Amino acid sequence: MKILDINNPGFRKEFEEILQRGKMDIANVEEIVKNIIKEVKEEGNKALFRHISRFDKWEPKENKDLEIMPDEMKKAYENLDEELKKALHLAYERIKKYHEKQLPKSWLDFEKNGTILGQKVTPVDKAGVYVPGGKAFYPSSLLMNVIPAIVAGVEEIVVTTPVIENKPNELLLGALYICGCPKTYKVGGASAIAAMAYGTESIPKVDVITGPGNIFVATAKKLVYGDVNIDMIAGPSEIGIIADESAKPHYLAIDLLSQAEHDEMASSILITDSKEIADMTVIEIEKFLKELEREEIARKSIEERGAVIVTNDIDEAVELMNEIAPEHLEIMTKNPFELLPKIKHAGAIFLGEYTPEPIGDYIAGPNHTLPTGGTAKFYSPLNVEVFMKKSSIISFSKQAIEEMGKECATLAHTEGLTAHEKSVLERLK
């Protein structure tokens, strides 16, 4: 893992490479995904059957083969270990409680002249959730995407997930049962995104699609945006850590690896004002790597896309981290809350040495679907409002239009919109 010094003449060039970590070459992928979307739009389930046979190694025979039935979810839940059930229920309740605090409110404001202005908040009718299931299974992603939709009041929630060789993961089935058995279909990749965006004989068209996925899923979400809403275009996972001399190197090392083990393309970046901490962390990383089941993945990630940056002081560290705008940001300093006001861009902020990033992935409560690749500068975490929309409410009384109608007509006239102008003036006669 390379160590960069901010005082090195070539530092800025190396740092610019870190800032480009989220860029993906999707030119070739985009053409493939466009064809997949076209086939699903034109052929519906027939295209899905063909894609499942090719990518997921099983042969659906009829439409009902695509759906996972509630009794299958219930049976899987009942077979789960009691400790695992307890963990899933704890996660469910904490995620639900947190997202309930996010609910926006409808409101009306009454003015003295009889004007009523307000906002009406309503959930979308149908939401689609994509849950990855190729290399690994992520029931936590299911909870993090379905629960906000439930809290928002969405009437119909559709889940799609790839099922290799038609063998659904028992843990995922159990999590689906805890979530109230939303309609779930054994379809993955760009095909699933297209199916939810445009509908097929089995899968209903939805209004918003959320959930993480590989480059094909991300590209498909980008291409269907506008026909449906999406949460964000998420890339490989990443973590940034700000640390001073008080931080424990073995905590820093394993936390950096907690993201590196996700994907060879994941980024793990430590910024510290202590050269000693930097050196010791690199040593600890090597020790931990040998203990990981996914050592090969983590090693490639940490060596090719990981970095330790040494600054002159913590303020420089904060400044650089704000440029990076990481998906996950850990602050391990003597007084982490003192730095919080200085942090401008991060998907989720973890404060103190007893708040490792995995706490946020599973049981803390805030959503773990977060902006990556620097998009935390303008995107927010997945939240209840993604599954809701706002309508403006306007009601003018006779007195109100007499007070303000002339100015409204003037503005319309200035823009050359005669019908707009006359629409108001007719009411002033």
251 and 179 in one domain? no
In a domain, 22, yes or no: no
In a domain, 64, yes or no: yes
168 and 284 in one domain? no
d(CA 53, CA 60): 8
Examine the fold and report which residue of 230, 257, 283 is the final residue of a domain before the chain moves on. Answer: 230
Instruction: Give the pTM.
Output: 0.93
201 and 82 in one domain? yes
Examine the fold and report which residue of 230, 248, 263 is the final residue of a domain before the chain moves on. Answer: 230
Q: Which residue has the higher pLDDT, 265 or 98?
A: 98
Tokens representing residue 128 in the block: 């689609």
DSSP character for 205?
P
Report the candidate in 143, 137, 171 with the shortest Cα–Cα distance to residue 157. 143
Q: Is the pLDDT of residue 192 over 70?
A: yes
Domain count, the chain: 3
343 and 409 in one domain? no
Q: What's the domain range around 343?
A: 235-377
Note the pLDDT of residue 137.
Answer: 78
d(CA 423, CA 409): 8
Note the pLDDT of residue 366.
Answer: 98
181 and 76 in one domain? yes
- Please state, for a pLDDT cut of 70, what percent of the chain lies above it: 99
Note the pLDDT of residue 261.
Answer: 94
SS3 label, residue 326:
coil
In a domain, 19, yes or no: no
Type of residue numbered 412: A
Characterize the bridge pairing of strands 208-210 and 126-130: parallel
Going 243 to 246 to 251 to 253, the CA torsion angle's sign is: positive
Residues present in the chain in total: 429
267 and 140 in one domain? no
The strand ranges marked E within 282-369 are 307-310, 328-332, 348-351
Annotation marks residue 327 as catalytic:
yes
278 and 151 in one domain? no
Q: Is the pLDDT of residue 24 over 70?
A: no
188 and 59 in one domain? yes
Annotation marks residue 328 as catalytic:
yes
Tens digit of each residue's pLDDT (9 = 90 or more) over 55-112:
999 999 999 999 999 999 999 999 999 999 999 999 999 999 999 999 999 999 999 9
Report the candidate in 168, 109, 97, 104 with the shortest Cα–Cα distance to residue 139. 168
SS3 label, residue 217:
helix
Torsions phi, psi for 180 (to 5 deg): 90, 20
334 and 221 in one domain? no
Examine the fold and report which residue of 230, 254, 280 is the final residue of a domain before the chain moves on. Answer: 230
Report the candidate in 177, 176, 236 with the shortest Cα–Cα distance to residue 212. 236
49 and 171 in one domain? yes
Tokens representing residue 410 in the block: 């003037």
255 and 188 in one domain? no
Tens digit of each residue's pLDDT (9 = 90 or more) over 330-385:
999 999 999 999 999 999 999 999 999 999 999 999 999 999 999 999 999 999 99
Which residue is listed with tokens 């959320």? Answer: 210
Domain of residue 323, CATH code: 3.40.50.1980
Q: Mutual orientation of helices 275-289 and 249-260 as an angle, nearest 10°?
A: 50
Torsions phi, psi for 93 (to 5 deg): -65, -40
Q: Is the pLDDT of residue 135 over 70?
A: no
> In which band, very low, low, confident or very high, does the pLDDT at 235 lie, cut at 50, 70 and 90?
confident
Q: Is the pLDDT of residue 312 over 80?
A: yes
In a domain, 8, yes or no: no
Q: Which residue has the higher pLDDT, 27 or 121?
A: 121
Sorted by sequence, the CB contacts under 8 Å of residue 333 that are 6+ apart come out as 242, 243, 244, 246, 247, 314, 339
Report the candidate in 417, 366, 404 with the shortest Cα–Cα distance to residue 91. 366
90 and 63 in one domain? yes
Residue in 327, 330, 353, 357 annotated catalytic: 327
Note the pLDDT of residue 317.
Answer: 98
Residue in 51, 99, 262, 328 annotated catalytic: 328
In a domain, 325, yes or no: yes
What's the mean pLDDT in 261-268? 92
How many Cβ atoms are within 10 Å of 13's Cβ, its own excluded?
9
